[in-house]
Amino acid sequence: MARIVKEEEYAVKRNAILEAAQRLIYTKGYEQMTIQDMLDDLQISKGAFYHYFDSKQAVLEALVERMGEEALQLLVPIVHDPALPALDKFQRYLATANRWKIGQKAFFLALLRVWFTDDNAVVRQKLRAIGIREIAPLLSEIICQGIQEGVMTTTYPDQVGEVIASLAQDAGETIGALLLSFDPKRDDMQRVERTVAAYTEAFERVLEVPAGSLTIVDDQTLQEWFASPDESEVEMKS
């Protein structure tokens, strides 16, 4: 019993550090945020901080992992829903993931620039591998159902689940890079739309489903991601 209480206390205190870090990332940005900022926010000592994390980068890694766990809580029930046909399930999976990401837009944008720096290359690769490992079995389950229903064709559903998970990670990183370089004056939106269309075609070909069966990112979500700050304010007020 005492061990359970200690584990719960550990989780609560660790989560408090993550909450403080997330607040500071919103207000100061990840690059400007320091460990001292977190200590001041929580009124804790350096020793207390290092009991849970050995660096600011470790905090970043834990924050992204926690976000992934939150997303999985939304996606797993969709995958296990016995009433949904495979294609509907896959589409709902994509739509739910997209809406969840939009709900975290401010946090994603706050981290985006630092995410692609060389300093975070190891963390980025590690979290990519974790993400693929977590979502590939879910996608494989949908694919197996699709094969049984005769709407998907593949000899290797487990491996194709990994391929689709990897494609999803690639699409997210590519769209993230486009966000960083986006300039509406250059009509970059057309480039964004063509990129999404290319990934959509790749998804459909790997799964051998008819063209137009999937929408990996809908137009409204794209507009929300690539809206200028002024446009975002208007959307929030309306």
Residue 232 pLDDT exceeds 60: no
Task: Return the percent helix, strand and coil in the chain, to nearest 5.
Answer: 80, 0, 20
Residues 79 and 174 in one domain: yes
Supply 174's token pair.
């590519």
Give me the mean pLDDT over the 168-194 stretch. Answer: 86
The pLDDT score that the predictor gives to residue 39 is 95
The pLDDT score that the predictor gives to residue 203 is 95
Supply 54's token pair.
């050995």
Work out the pLDDT band at 214, boundaries 50, 70, 90.
very high
**Distance separating alpha carbons of residues 130 and 52, to the nearest angstrom:** 20
Residues 104 and 24 in one domain: no
Residue 55 pLDDT exceeds 80: yes
Give me the mean pLDDT over the 207-230 stretch. Answer: 85
The pLDDT score that the predictor gives to residue 104 is 85
Residue 237 pLDDT exceeds 50: no
Q: List the single range of 3-7, 163-167, 213-217 with lowest mean pLDDT.
A: 3-7
Residues 166 and 49 in one domain: no
Q: Count up the domains in the chain and report the number.
A: 2
Residues 92 and 198 in one domain: yes
Residues 69 and 163 in one domain: yes
Work out the pLDDT band at 228, boundaries 50, 70, 90.
low
Residues 1 and 70 in one domain: no
Q: What residue numbers bound the domain in which 114 lies?
A: 55-237
CATH of the domain at 19: 1.10.10.60
Residues 136 and 35 in one domain: no
**Distance separating alpha carbons of residues 119 and 60, to the nearest angstrom:** 12
Residues 178 and 158 in one domain: yes
Q: Tens of pLDDT along 18-35? A: 999 999 988 888 888 999
Per the CB < 8 A criterion, the answer to whether 42 and 16 are in contact is yes
The pLDDT score that the predictor gives to residue 78 is 97
Work out the pLDDT band at 235, boundaries 50, 70, 90.
very low
The closest of 213, 211, 214, 218 to 192, measured between CA atoms, is 218
Residue 142 pLDDT exceeds 50: yes
3-state secondary structure at position 84: coil
Work out the pLDDT band at 180, boundaries 50, 70, 90.
confident
